[in-house]
Structure 1
Amino acid sequence: MVRAIMHGCNGAMGQVITNLIAEDPGIELVAGVDINTEQKNGYPVFASLAECDVEADVVIDFASAKATDALLAAMVEKKLPGVLCSTGLSEEQLEAVKEASTKVAILKSANMSLGINTLFKVLKMVTPILAEAGFDMEIVEKHHNRKLDAPSGTALALADVMNETMDNAYAYKFDRTQERKKRDKMEIGIQAVRGGTIVGEHEVIFAGTDEVITISHTAYSRAIFAKGAIAAAKYLAGKPAGYYDMKDVIG
């Protein structure tokens, strides 16, 4: 039985994960961490991981990026592996994650869903073929009106996967409103839409002469991210220090 701590337990994703783990015989939540220390689900809740005195095998993080620095420090101090699912981390924080992974096992993924991680594999295969054929590449992502970061971490990860297959020769274009000129062939456009309760949509467009190929992924529920995070937590428990991602979980 894997013993987990839920970081951000009283948030929307924290509650989804809490409910799913309650039905999973292979993992249990022994504690939660949240700035709101209300105990909603029967396990103790602490204001920070540093204050948590409950023994555990792994921490699952779905809190704000603002809490990442303190989380990493506590993980290293407690030698506690962690699945980091928060988005919007700064470049400095991403470097801190890599540094911490030299001391404790960390799994960081821009998106925890099986579908998105399969899409990464598909893009590695098709991008070189279509880019060499002269197709323009664009990404459109859509999320709910409460999402803070734009573009999404997943959209950036999709672009990175595509760009890496082309030796990082492409620049990213986030805003076309500030200039009036023909589209540069060596760019990947990334556009963000925010509205309503959209859980998450990502569309990769390859636009060529007289034909368009579109590859898309739509999330209808937060549960897909929660299930991925739980699978990652089970995988990471007991692993040696290192930097892991969802490719390791799905093989």
Structure 2
Amino acid sequence: MVKAIMNGCNGRMGHVIVDIAEADNDISIVAGVDKFGENNYSFPTFNSIADVNVEADVVIDFSNASGVDELLDVCADKNLPVVLCTTGLSDDQLAHVNVASKKIAILKSANMSVGVNVLMKVLKEAAKALAGSGFDMEIVEKHHNQKLDAPSGTAMSLAEVINDAAGGDYEFVYDRSARREKRPEKEIGISAVRGGTIVGDHDVIFAGTDEVITFSHRAYSRAIFGKGAVEAAKFLSGKPAGMYDMSDALGLK
């Protein structure tokens, strides 16, 4: 039985993951961490990851970017692997993640769903074939009106996947309103839509001459991310220090 700490237990994803873990015989949430809300769980909750005094095998983090640095430092000191699901990290924080991965196992993914990670694998092959054949590449992502970061971490990961597969020399463009020129060849446009209660939509568009190919993923429930996070935690428990992602957990490499 894998013993997990849920960092951000009172958030939307925290509640989802706790419910999923309760129905899974291979993992148990033994403690929660959250600065906000009351403890309505059967396990103890703490205001800070540094205050947790419960033995665990792994931390699942769905919290806020502002707390990631403390999380990494504490987990490195306690030799606790981290499933890092929080998005919107700064360049300095991403560098901190890499430093911490020298001491502990870290699985970082902008999107924990099985479908998105399979999509990433498919996009590698599509970009190799289509970018060299004159297809322009665009990404449109849509999320609910409470999401703080834009573009989404998933959109950025999709852009990086197709850029790497297409040669790595494409520029990411987020706004064309100040430009009056035709679209450059080596460009990937990334557009963000925020509204209502959209859980998460991502479209990757390959637009060629007289034909368009679109790869789409629609999330209808946050449960898909929770299931992925739980599977990632079970995979990461006991792993040596290093950087991992969902393709490792899902055996897609």
Q: TM-score range by the shorter chain?
A: over 0.9
Secondary structure, aligned partner of 2:176: coil
**How far did residue 86 of structure 1 move?**
0.3
Aligned to 1:76: 76
What letter is aligned with 1:86?
A: T
Aligned to 1:145: 145
Secondary structure, aligned partner of 1:140: strand
Q: Matched residues in 2 for 1:81 and 1:137: separation?
A: 36
Equivalent positions of 1:73-222 (< 5 A) are 73-222=73-222
The runs of 5 or more residues in structure 1 that have no matched partner are none
Residue 224 (structure 2) pairs with residue 227 (structure 1):
no
Q: Matched residues in 2 for 1:40 and 1:130: separation?
A: 51
**How far did residue 168 of structure 1 move?**
1.0
**How far did residue 166 of structure 1 move?**
2.1
Q: Matched residues in 2 for 1:204 and 1:196: separation?
A: 22
**Aligned-CA RMSD value:** 0.7
Aligned to 2:36: 36
CA contact (8 A) 2:132 2:166 kept: no
Q: Matched residues in 1 for 2:37 and 2:30: separation?
A: 15
**How far did residue 37 of structure 1 move?**
5.3
Q: Matched residues in 2 for 1:3 and 1:206: separation?
A: 43
Q: Matched residues in 1 for 2:28 and 2:128: separation?
A: 43
Question: Deviations along 1:73-117, whole A, 9 cap, x unmatched?
Answer: 110111101100000001110110011000011100111011000
Aligned length: 251
TM-score normalized by the length of structure 1: 0.99
What letter is aligned with 1:162?
A: I
Q: Matched residues in 2 for 1:50 and 1:164: separation?
A: 38
Aligned to 2:12: 12
Which 4+ residue blocks in structure 1 deviate beyond 4 angstroms?
none
The runs of 5 or more residues in structure 2 that have no matched partner are none
**How far did residue 128 of structure 1 move?**
1.6
What letter is aligned with 1:100?
A: A
Secondary structure, aligned partner of 1:60: strand
Q: Matched residues in 2 for 1:15 and 1:123: separation?
A: 32
Q: Matched residues in 1 for 2:37 and 2:203: separation?
A: 38
CA contact (8 A) 1:37 1:45 kept: no
TM-score normalized by the length of structure 2: 0.98
